[in-house]
Chain A
Amino acid sequence: MTATASRLAADVSVAWADIGKVIGISLLVGVGLVVVFAVGVRVLSYRAAPDGPHTPTRASIVVAGVLFLICAAVATYGIYLLVKK
């Protein structure tokens, strides 16, 4: 068991740079994507007419559409990474 333990200490090489990359990418994409989507949802709350059922303004639909497309593009890139692997 002691031999195993010492061999273990010698052999283990944790790739901290890779782990740093995972943390960086996850923070950037995981939080960034959620922010972009949330802004898209938020602008849909601006209403075109003061009365009647809620209808978003034309501008907010366009902005939300572009933001949602960005999210969809990132998700598609994620699928591409899965397939390519």
Chain B
Amino acid sequence: MSLTVVVVIMTALVFDFTNGFHDTANAMATSIATRALRPKIAVALSAVLNLVGAFLSVEVAKTISGGIVNDSLVTPAIVFGGLVGAIIWNLVTWLFGLPSSSSHALIGGLIGATWVAAGGDAVRFAAIVEKVLVPAVLSPVIAGVVAGLGTYAVYRITRTGRADVTARGFRGGQVVSASMVSLAHGTNDAQKTMGVITLTLIAAGELPAGASPPTWVILTAGLAIGLGTYLGGWRIIRTVGHRLTHIAAPQGFAAETSAATVILASSHLGYALSTTQVASGSVVGSGVARRSERVHWGTVGQIVLAWALTMPSAGLLGAGAGWVADRGNGGVIVVAILGVLAAVGIYLASRRRPVNASNVNDEEQEPVVVRKPAAVA
């Protein structure tokens, strides 16, 4: 196995790890916010279900490997550049607590790196519009409408019931609905990284064309996403759980059920959509339907802006990283060093205002966008 292949596999696992903690909020933010699950329990449950989900499905996510770019023109160095772009964008959005799509970051990074290194002809634009962009625009809206109708119905039906019985019942329901979202996430997102690693191994001649992911790839990818999930993207959990709207248990149940249904229905029909966007859309929809609580549209706007920026930004980062990495082993090393420095810098910046299991439910309102400290210069 060449140095580049080893580096690509490690980078893919790092991406999978960021994917895990970036997306913990999808399944668990509402359950943590309504206290249906204690924060540590919620992330542990989600981590296990993500790991289980990685083993559930045996088919590689072909949207990533063959659908978006022409895989016969892609080299391990290009994949490496794309992954670095996706990781950096995931870390930046995490720093700001923005639930952006890890899948779109990965797709954007791969497109950018492929475009500069192998030319525009290697990028399948039509497939991207059809399989990625159209679902990206429609899915949060569909999830929001379903969650909104569900929330309205729930409050109509339980209006005359006992408040304590209702709250307890829906907290119980939330445990199941959040678990479904976690499981669906594991089968979808862990698969994407497995697809990338398998593609790299095939490109390097380590595996025959059309091979399924070897067991060690499934295991390491499942562990990486599970570990990331367990660490918990507390910054994003706080945004989804508290800063979009105030979430009560019946509403959280309706939002999670909507998210799980939309993800399952569309992935069954072959659309790889963003778990993150569906989950956020559901929370907003359930907030709109519950007229007693207001939706913080400013935060919604920031998130939608982050969604729109994700593919172009990860694409630009991936293009730069892919161009340098494609120069040879020296280029790969330069990109690796710059990537590690950027990651360490973002981590240190996050330490200024840490968010963790102990303060994730604190209601204090501060702007989502952390202002750049003046001391940087």
**Which residues on the B side are within 8 Å of A38 (C-beta)?**
153-154, 157-158, 250
Q: Is A59 in contact with chain B by the CB < 8 A criterion?
A: no
CB pair A25 B129 closer than 8 Å: no
Instruction: Say whether, besides A22-B142, A44-B169, A78-B180, A34 and B162 are in contact (CB < 8 Å).
Output: no
CA distance A14 to B130 in the complex (A): 5
CB pair B157 A35 closer than 8 Å: yes
Category for how many chain A residues contact B = 35 or more
CA distance A37 to B145 in the complex (A): 19
Q: Is B96 in contact with chain A by the CB < 8 A criterion?
A: no
CA distance A23 to B160 in the complex (A): 31
Nearest Cβ on chain B to A57's Cβ, whole angstroms? 12
Tell me which of B84-92, B262-270, B338-346, B363-371 binds A. B262-270
Nearest Cβ on chain A to B247's Cβ, whole angstroms? 15
Instruction: Say whether, besides A41-B170, A75-B176, A30 and B126 are in contact (CB < 8 Å).
Output: no
CA distance A83 to B268 in the complex (A): 11
Number of interface residues of B (CB under 8 A): 53
Q: Is B107 in contact with chain A by the CB < 8 A criterion?
A: no
**Which residues on the B side are within 8 Å of A13 (C-beta)?**
126, 130
**Which residues on the B side are within 8 Å of A71 (C-beta)?**
173, 176
**Which residues on the A side are within 8 Å of B143 (C-beta)?**
26
CB pair B53 A82 closer than 8 Å: yes
| Residue in A4, A21, A45, A83 whose beta carbon sits within 8 Å of that of B161 in the complex | A45
Q: A-B contact count, CB below 8 Å? A: 138
Q: Is A63 in contact with chain B by the CB < 8 A criterion?
A: no
**Which residues on the B side are within 8 Å of A22 (C-beta)?**
142, 262, 265-266, 269, 271
CB pair B158 A41 closer than 8 Å: yes
Nearest Cβ on chain A to B191's Cβ, whole angstroms? 10
CB pair B262 A26 closer than 8 Å: yes
**Which residues on the B side are within 8 Å of A11 (C-beta)?**
125-126
| Residue in B145, B170, B183 whose beta carbon sits within 8 Å of that of A79 in the complex | B183
CB pair A31 B149 closer than 8 Å: yes
Instruction: Say whether, besides A34-B150, A38-B250, A82-B187, A4 and B120 are in contact (CB < 8 Å).
Output: yes
CB pair A4 B125 closer than 8 Å: yes
* B contacts with A: majority SS: helix
CB pair B157 A26 closer than 8 Å: no
**Which residues on the A side are within 8 Å of B253 (C-beta)?**
34, 37
CB pair B165 A41 closer than 8 Å: yes
Q: Mark B268-279, 1 if CB is under 8 A from A, else 0.
A: 111100000000
CA distance A45 to B168 in the complex (A): 11
Instruction: Say whether, besides A14-B130, A45-B166, A81 and B157 are in contact (CB < 8 Å).
Output: no
CA distance A31 to B286 in the complex (A): 12
| Residue in B126, B135, B268 whose beta carbon sits within 8 Å of that of A85 in the complex | B268
> Counting chain A CB atoms within 10 Å of each CB, which of B149, B154, B160, B183 scores highest?
B154
**Which residues on the B side are within 8 Å of A10 (C-beta)?**
126
Instruction: Say whether, besides A13-B130, A22-B266, A41 and B161 are in contact (CB < 8 Å).
Output: yes
CB pair A30 B59 closer than 8 Å: no
Q: Is B134 in contact with chain A by the CB < 8 A criterion?
A: yes
CB pair B125 A39 closer than 8 Å: no
A interface residues with partner B (beta carbon < 8 Å)? 4, 7-8, 10-15, 18-19, 21-23, 25-27, 29-31, 33-35, 37-42, 44-45, 54, 56, 71-72, 75, 78-79, 81-83, 85
21 CB < 8 A contacts A-B? A12-B129, A13-B126, A13-B130, A14-B129, A14-B130, A18-B270, A22-B266, A26-B146, A27-B145, A30-B262, A34-B153, A37-B257, A38-B153, A41-B169, A45-B165, A78-B180, A78-B260, A82-B53, A82-B56, A82-B183, A85-B267
List the 9 shortest-distance A-B pairs measured between CB atoms, nearest first.
A11-B126, A41-B169, A45-B161, A30-B261, A34-B150, A30-B146, A38-B157, A25-B265, A45-B162
Q: Given contacts A26-B143, A29-B261, A30-B146, could you give 19 more A-B pairs where the C-beta distance is less than 8 Å?
A: A10-B126, A12-B129, A12-B130, A18-B270, A23-B142, A25-B261, A26-B142, A27-B145, A27-B146, A30-B257, A34-B150, A34-B253, A38-B158, A38-B250, A40-B169, A45-B160, A45-B165, A78-B260, A83-B56
